[in-house]
Structure formats: structure tokens, C-alpha cells
A and B are shown apart, each in its own frame.
Chain A
Amino acid sequence: MRLFSNSSTYSVRLRIAIVAAVLALLPPAALGQDNTIAPFGIRPTAMSLGRLLKLHAAAVGKLAPGMQKTRIESWSYKDGGLNGTVSVLIHGDDQRIDTQLAPFHFASGTYRGQDWEQNENGQTHLVSGVHQRDAVDRKALAQPSAFAGGVTLLGEVSTPKPAYVVRVAPPGGRVAYLFYDRANFLIVRTERAVRQDRIVTTYDDFRTTSGRTEAWHIQTSNGKPEDDTDSQLQSLQVGVAIDPAKFAIPRDAQSPASFSATRLSLPVTIDADRIILKTQIQGRKVDFQLDSGASGILLDRSIAEALKIPLYGKLSEVTTGEYKVSRAIVPAITFGGVSLDNIAVETAPFHWYTSDGTPIAGLMGYDFLDSCVVHIDYIDGTVEALAPSSFAPPAGAIALPVRLDDMVPAISAQIGSSVGENFVLDTGADRSLLFSEFVNAHPHDTLDQGLGEEITDSFPFVEQSSGVGGDISIRPVQVSGLDLGRLHFSRWLFHVTEQPNSFNQEDYDGLIGQDVLRNFDVYLDYAHSTIYLVPNDRYRQRWGS
């Protein structure tokens, strides 16, 4: 039984789709409610934490001695209005989870300590551990004494059923509340603070198999019915033999993109540093923004509806605001010798207009960017797709290692003397951003060096930046220095997000946007988990050679 997972019972893609900095003069949005407060109705209890955890361990039980630590689980699963199945294979610490939702299949697993995920388009990426909160919580719960104050028994409640309530909030973890049934000491409910949500998971239909008692029915809810999930275990085999090869990290199941040559010049324009990719879908022209900050491909819902592309399910997602997302499979998106065939996309209300009135109807993110090496020349306004096998980094290029845990490139950056390991290198962000959590954690290194205040002096209104789903409040801050690999910029103008929750993607420090990237020839080489920057004339003009 997985008490903690990324977003819901099974893997749900974290979406980071940001098109920033269409500055509008609007008032700040209201902040959301605190999702970490303790449940209501807790009263003191005579139970102790240590005794409760022992009683719980006894209630769960142990595998019969000598049994092989293998499991085969088969679940029925409902998520975002779609029905499907989940199959789980476990062998010791190795595991593999395959989810089929309507026509969409995605998978995740752990093999010899290496986590991995495979998306709906069959692309596999390694997970390096950007998100550690749930793992920290699990460790704290397993060994409370090692996390002083991280695990506490708050008391007991009588509703929704009599239960003891344990708060788990170790440093580096997330705030979670576990409800242990007063009668049998099994965990029947958890409430977890995940980004802006409070996710409630309920467990019932407990059954004992080979000595261990666990829930066969799990439901999650964040309060929005369309996001509810429901998992019912259909069968469970314990101790059976499983072919170890099934746990190996799979190669890409298929390439969603085909290329007519090993080097292709893509039909793009670069408008105010935004890269506009001109594509065709079913004979119609549809322009996308090339966006490394998008973990997939996002298509404006009205395009999908007009082309009569079937939509599947509906989920709420939050970037700069909340919006409803459905999945779809587009038969083909073609551009410049590239064809994305039967490509799984997400659809949501999304479009904006360039300065000359051209509508941009989507974001072209990971699924394409992972299929080739993308070379962006901001000076010439050109973009090329290069075959990874024939790509050699240009001489003098600055290599930045990236991690693609969430299908967006996370890089390390140093702000002043503070290092943030998880900045998203985002071709879709007009300007670089610091998320408020990073700023709060590093107040000295994010003190304004003068320019931010000068800007505010002449216009003391909180500005807004547009993104998928809405606007966020931002303020300008000039930091003392920005370091990317061996690049050093003395002082850099960032914008700082004011909201602590929804826009600030959990565990990320900020965005490195077009204001930085425009000074380089940029090579996105996801296959080798590396991004290369080659200083261009704009760089040399301002900073010399």
C-alpha cells in the first residue's frame, strides 16, 4: 500500500506550462486557504505515538516467514472521468506500475534504485529525485525518533470515524495527517498538503493476504469531483515468481516524432523571444509556442473541438490559475519535415495573440523536444531539429546538465551565494522568475540591488504576469549575481512571484527564461540530459567575449 505518492494514488503528471510576462496592470489575486492546518475536532487522547505505531504495525501484520517479497496487483481505476486499469509488479525494492486509462497508457517504476517514468507517448525518462517530500515523510514515519518533532500524535477524532490523528511534517517533507482507526489501528484516511490542494485519501475494504492486511479500495479527492480517483484492487498475488526482466527500465516504447532528415530547419518565427512554431493539423494551420517549460503538448480546446478530435476526461490543473484539462490523441501534427503521429496531447482553453495578431493555439513541449536535439538561434530567429545520434556539441559550448523528472529541464543556478538545484530552463518564460519559497529561504541573496526598487518607484503597483489559466502577481528584484555553470552575470533582474502556492511548482526554485536564453545559441539535448549554451553577438555586445 502506498501511503504517499506524488499527486494521487498513481502517477499524475506534474504540469509546468508557463508562458510568462504579458504584463498587465491588475490587482493581486487572492491567496488560497492554508492547506496545512490540522483537521477539525481533534481532542486529547491517552494513546502515545510509540504505542499507536506498534499497534498499527501489528494490525498490518507481516508476510509469512520465507515468502518471496513479490506481489502482482491488478486494480480497476477511475481518474479524471476516465476508467482504466492499473497493474503493479513488485519484487523487493524493484517495482513497475502500468496504468491504462481509456486509450492512454503510461508507466513508472524503480529498477535497482533508479526511478523512471514513461509518458502517454511512450517516452521514458529517469527520475533523479527532484521531489523528496513523500520519501522524507515515509522515512519519518518509519523512524520517528530520527525526526524530532516531525511525527506527532495530535489526539483523536470521532468523525468521519473514530480515529487517532498523527501529524507528519518532518523538515523537507510535506504536511500530512494520518487517521488510524481507533478500533483496528489501520490507516483509514490521510490528508496531505500537495501544492495548493489538500488531498484526502480514504482506505477501506481491508483484507488479509499472506499475513498482511491492506486496503483493497482507495479513493482520493482534492475537493473537486472531477479530480477524484477510485482504485479497487481486483486481484493480489503474493510470493509468486516474476520475471526480473519485467522490471528493467523500458526504452522509449515508440518515437512520437518522425523526421525526414537528420537536420531540419523548422518553420518558426521568434517574436519578442517567443518561439512560434507553425504546424499543420488536419489541413489547418495551427501555431504553437515552443516551450521547454511545458511537460507535454497543450492544444487549445477549441481547435480540438473544431477538428472533431475526441476529448477524454476532464481534470483540474493549476499553473497561474485553475483550468480544466482533457486528453486527446491528435492523428498528426506536421511541421518542416517533422510529423508527430497519433500524439497524445492535453487540451485546455488556451490561446494568445502575437503582436501582429497571429493566434497561438498551444504549447509544444517535452514530447517533441525529447525526440531530437533542438537548436535555437535567437539572433537569426531560426530553430533546427537535429538527430541526437549525429549531434556533436559545438566548440566552446557551455554544458548545463539537466534533470527531466517532470519532463521539464531542471538546472542548477546560483543566485548570489545561494544555489538552487531546481530551476526550470524555460523557453516559454518571457523573464526569469524566482519562486517565493526560494526567496523566503534565501533572503540575503535575493535582496534587491537597486534596479527592482527603481522600477517600483516609478510604478508602485503589483504587476501581473500571464500564464496558463490566469495571472500571477510579481515584483522586480535585481539580485547580486546569477551563475549558470561557468557563466557569471554580475547582477540580474528577476521577477519574484508573490503567491506562495499554486504557481510555485512544488520543489522548484524558479525559471530561467528568455531574458537569459536570448543571449545564446541554445541546444536542448534531452537525450543526453544536457543543454548547451553558446554565447551569441547579443551576449558579446553586452558582456564582451
Chain B
Amino acid sequence: MKPYFATLALLLLSSGVALARDNKLDAAPNGVTPTAATVAQVLKTYDSATGQLAPGVDDSRRETWRFTKAGLGGTETLERHGLDFRSKIVSGPIVDEYGQFLDDRWHKDSNGFVTPVHGTDPTSFEMLIFMRNFNDAEDPKNDVTMLGEVTDPKPAYVLQIKRAGFKHPEWVFYDKKTGLIDQIINSLEGDRVTASYSDYRATKGLTQPWHVHVTDGEVALDRDFTRESLTIGAPVETTDFIMPRNSASFAAYTGHVEIPGSVLFDHFLYEVSYMRVQQFNAPTVIVRVTIAGRGLDFELSSGSPDSFIDWDVAQELNLPGYGKTLRTARREPIPYDTVIPQIQIGGLTLHNFAMYALPFNYHMGGSTKIVGTLGYDVLKSGVFKIDYESGKVTLDPGSQFDGPAPVPGAFAVPLHFDQGYAFMEGSLDSHLSENILLDNSFELSFVFGNFTSRYPDSVKDTFGRQHGTTVVPFADSGGYGRKIDIWMGNIPDIQFGLAHFIDYQMLGTDGDVDFTGHEVDAVVGADFLQYYDVYLDYPHNRLLLKPNAAFLKQFHV
């Protein structure tokens, strides 16, 4: 199974599923004894202890942090003004930058490529998010009760807070001496997490912790943040927040490059309607890469925002984790960022290329084991051509594709990127969409619920069955969860650039899908792309499609 089918399945199945209640997470902390103090007294003391930003101080901040996250050490510089921000996070050779200027968000990845970001990525604010709970007692939607007081680890009053929309309570420890918050215990993804706060310092009237330590009890996975500097109110340059340029320099090649690999067609069965299974034959683009003298098969994936390598293979190659804990106490692998000194892909050399190592592998046709993916960052380094007929992949510099029509007989489809995902515009039954994911690692093209619920008549079941475009929300319907339908749909008219099909068949589903907050109407997969010579012209933000012989054989023109 390929990764995005897994993602799809996960997304579809996760909706409406209630989590089991975990009584452990509801148990109050140990050692709490009754107190005469009241909630109002504790909050009043806290309020005066934290102070307030001095009047008239500009809403700008510059701060630097040193951190350790599951053993991985690093630094973060965070600059902000109002909602605008820019951060730089350095962990050994891994450097990521994030920013926001007005409504434009961006991410510069560790290989130096910049991509717009549609959704919200809180990575830059991880240490501050652990302080967000400081406000929970003041939020009128939450229930606050005085639980009592403790002597360990420090004498403190303990407030129990039941937050609106959360299953489990949290406990906030207010230092009896300073009135400030020493510790917060709450639940995160089924675990009890303790965040400790210390080294409080006042800046411009506002007192904040400069040390935050977070643990779920597994020490090797602890997170520790130490603030090293904080400036509030100093002028900042607006230009600091603007999206930077690419600075990638990892790819080296000269002129036209033949990429070693192949296009493998594989048969598979898919349930396309109730009790009806259909056999499909769709291609996967395999690329042979060499790392430290070892030949490995990777998939070339136009829809993958990153490149990644199988965790086991990364370990066999001794790819470093820079101090990060790589296994849980139960010996389960923990994904990690690594940098590979050199990857050889025919005439293409990737130097010091950052990859994400995670458990990932599958077999194609029983013999070829795919242990990685080459995604957006590799594809952005030139124009990759996939010739599905000959099974060849080539690479040329982007400069050779300047101009509006660089490939005779090909037409262009503009692409826009969201955190490395490639989206194209098109029309399905004359309904325009700019949320069509281009992803050749999907064997089959899909139309998702975001579209089918809006235009149910545009994706009719070829077998004549009626499909609910949404669940009828009777409260006695037995299962409240989303019943996801999948059907072979017939789209009367479909158009991407100059590609125009009448009565085109795509799988339809009423399940909604989004990638990093970007709702997807449809995905164009390998079943569609195989009828073209496909030029992934990412340097010019476009896709070039040139009909091949299979196209002429399959379709009436």
C-alpha cells in the first residue's frame, strides 16, 4: 500500500470516532491536601505576579531559545510583530525556517526550498504553546475548582481545570511563594504530560518563565526549552517576515541526465461499487538511487512534499539522528531527520541532502522493494520527464524549459504549491477547481467529498447506484460515523489545460480529504498521467503534458 492511500484511509476512518475514556488521565495528582485558599485569591495573586506589558510598548518580540527534543539539541530564533513572524530552527545540520507576513505563510525546508503554506504550522511556537495553558483558568468557558495544595515538588496551590471540548482535566500548580505557575499536568494523545516552568524573569513589566521542561514520563523523549534572550518592543523590519528566496544547492548535474529506473505496471483489484471489484493496471515510477554504495529503489512522487527513506534502511546505512532518541522504550522506531552526505542517481548527485527517516516500505510486483520517496525538493531541482511508454525518466535543467512552449506538442497546466504539495486547476463537469492534487503515486484518480457533495450530479455512478452525498443526520441511524462510499464515477466533461475528456471515469467518494489543512477536490493519479509524456516543470510552477501513443490508442480524438 502506498503512503497516500494510507493517509486517505486514515482520514476517512478517523471522522466521528469517539475516543475511549481513560480513567488514568482523570485521576488527580498525588499528594494534594485541602487548603483554605480560594480560586479567586490564587488567580488574583497570579495576575499581579505575572504583571502586564508596560503601556505603549510595541507588539514586537525577538527571542532565542535553546532546546532539546527527545535528545535532539538545537536553537530557535523567533522574531515577531503582531501576527507576523519569522523563525529559524537549527538542529545540527537541519535548518528550517518558517514565516508569516499578513496572510502569506511560508516554510523554507532543510534543503533550502521555499514553499507557501496554506494551513497553520505551529512548529515555531512549540515552547510557547506549552505556556498557552497559563490562560486556561481565566477562560470563562472553562470550569475552575480549587483542588488543594501540595508540598512537592514545591509548595503550591493546585487548580483543577476542565476545559471546554477536552475530555480530561488539567491541573495547574501555582507557587505558594511567588504566585507563578510551577507546573501543569494535562493529557496529550492519551498520555499524562507534565510541563514544568522555572527561571521566571520580568521583561517590560511582563514576567515569564525562561525554562520549560516537558515530560510524559519517558525521559529519553523529554523536551527542554531554555530561553536565552528576549527583547520586547524593539523596532523590527517588516521585510524580515517576507517569504525568502530558495537557496537550495544540493543538486549537481550537467545538462541532460538519464535517471536510472523504470516504470512498473502492476495489476491490482479495487472495490468500485457495492460487491463489485474491478481490476486496474497502473504504473509506478521507480528510481534507482545509490547511497554509500548501496543500490536502493525509491519512488518518484509528484505529490510528496518531502523526500523520505525507510527507517530500517536509514539505520542500516548509519544515517545520523544527531543525538535524537530513535526508539521508544518499547523499541518502536521514532522517525527522524537526517542528512545524507551523497546520493547518486545516475548523473544526478545530491550533496548533503536532508531526508526524513520513517518506517516505510512496500513491494512492487513482488520483487522490487521500494524504500523511499523522492518528492518536491528533488523534483524542484530541474525538470523531470516521465515517459510512461518507454519507462524512462530524464532530468534537464529548468533553464532549458524557459518560455511558454518549451516542448513541441505539449501543453502546460499551471501548478501552485502548498507546503510542497502540487495543486493544479481544472474543471470537472464545468465546475472550476484549483484544489486538484497532482500525485502520480496515486494509482487511481479520485474525486473527493469536497467536490462530490457540492456537485453530486457531476460524478454519477457508472453502475447506476445512488450515493448519498452526505450522511442523513438522523440520531437513530445506528452508526453516527461517516459511511464512506466509493464508486466508479462518470464525469461528463473534464479539463486540465488543453486536456479535455468527455465521459471520463474516475473513482468518486463522499469522504472529505485535506492535506495540511488544504481541502482537496480531486487527485490526478497515474491512471491519467500514463497517457502522456509528463514533464514535471516545478522550476516554472507547471506541468507539461504531451500525449503519447497510448493516449491515441485509448481515446478518440
Contacts and interface: CB of A to CB of B under 8 A. Distances in A.
A239 interface: no
A356 B85 CA distance: 37
B125 A357 contact: no
A455 B138 CA distance: 11
Contacts of B139: 493, 515
Q: Which of A26, A456, A519 has the most CB of B within 10 A?
A: A26
Contact of A459 (B61, B125, B138, B476): B125
A40 interface: no
A351 B473 contact: yes
A542 interface: yes
Contact of A458 (B16, B125, B517): B125
A451 interface: yes
Interface in A442-470: 449-451, 453-462
A516 B131 contact: no
B480 A286 contact: no
Contact of B473 (A302, A356, A450): A302
A284 interface: yes
A315 to B, nearest CB: 18
A57 interface: no
A516 B480 contact: no
A273 B141 contact: yes
Contacts of B165: 272, 355
A415 to B, nearest CB: 15
Interface in B67-120: 80, 82-85, 100, 103, 105, 118-120
B481 interface: yes
Given A451-B138, A492-B140, A544 B474 contact: no
Nearest to B124: A460
A305 B473 CA distance: 12
A353 B40 contact: no
A462 B83 contact: yes
Contacts of A192: none
B475 A285 contact: yes
A400 interface: no
Contacts of A461: 83, 100, 120, 122
A356 B141 contact: no
Contact of A302 (B125, B167, B470, B517): B470
A450 B40 contact: no
Given A286-B474, A303-B472, A456 B83 contact: yes
Interface in B218-255: none
Contacts of A391: none
A426 interface: no
Contact of A515 (B120, B129, B134, B140): B140
A46 interface: no
Interface residues of A, number: 54
B188 interface: no
Nearest to A24: B517
B18 A357 contact: yes
Interface in A46-81: none
A359 B471 contact: yes
Interface in B441-494: 468, 470-477, 480-481
A458 B475 contact: no
A306 B471 CA distance: 11
A454 B134 contact: yes
Nearest to A482: B140
A182 interface: no
A488 to B, nearest CB: 14
A339 interface: no
B475 A459 contact: no
Given A25-B517, A515-B140, A453 B59 contact: yes
* Interface residues of A, dominant DSSP: mixed
B515 to A, nearest CB: 14
Nearest to B118: A27
B135 interface: yes
A458 B122 CA distance: 9
A351 B118 CA distance: 26
B125 A544 contact: no
A456 B125 CA distance: 11
Nearest to A281: B474
B135 A356 contact: no
A28 B40 contact: no
Contact of A284 (B103, B135, B476, B481): B476
Contacts of A278: 475
A541 interface: yes
A361 interface: yes
B164 A303 contact: no
Contacts of A462: 83
Interface string A492-527: 110000000000000000000011101100000000
Contact of A300 (B59, B140, B473): B473
A370 interface: no
A346 interface: no
Contacts of A450: 52-53
A134 interface: no
Contacts of B325: none
B349 interface: no
Nearest to A284: B474
A430 interface: yes
B172 to A, nearest CB: 15
Contact of B120 (A25, A285, A305, A456): A25
B45 to A, nearest CB: 15
Contacts of B122: 459, 461
A278 B474 CA distance: 11
A542 B40 contact: yes
Interface in A25-43: 25-28
Given A25-B119, A456-B83, A541-B144, A306 B164 contact: no
Nearest to A283: B476
Contacts of A456: 83
A360 interface: yes
A161 interface: no
A361 B474 contact: yes
Contacts of B105: 27
A359 B135 contact: no
B129 A454 contact: no
Contacts of A543: 40
Contacts of A514: 141
Q: Which of B85, B468, B472 has the most CB of A within 10 A?
A: B472
A431 interface: yes
Interface string A295-311: 00000101101100000
Contacts of A493: 138-140
A430 B132 contact: no
Nearest to B100: A460
A73 B40 CA distance: 64
Contacts of A284: 474, 476
Contact of B480 (A353, A451, A542): A353
Q: Which of A302, A360, A544 has the most CB of B within 10 A?
A: A302
17 contacts: A27-B119, A285-B474, A303-B474, A359-B475, A359-B480, A430-B164, A458-B132, A459-B132, A460-B80, A460-B83, A460-B100, A478-B138, A515-B139, A518-B141, A541-B39, A542-B144, A543-B40
Interface of A: 25-28, 272-273, 278, 284-287, 300, 302-303, 305-306, 349, 351, 353, 355-361, 430-431, 449-451, 453-462, 478, 492-493, 514-516, 518-519, 538, 541-544
Question: Can you list the 8 inter-chain pairs with the closest CB atoms, starting with the nearest?
Answer: A359-B473, A285-B476, A458-B128, A285-B475, A351-B473, A357-B480, A361-B473, A458-B132
Given A431-B141, A493-B139, 8 more contacts: A285-B474, A300-B473, A303-B472, A454-B135, A458-B129, A458-B131, A478-B138, A493-B140
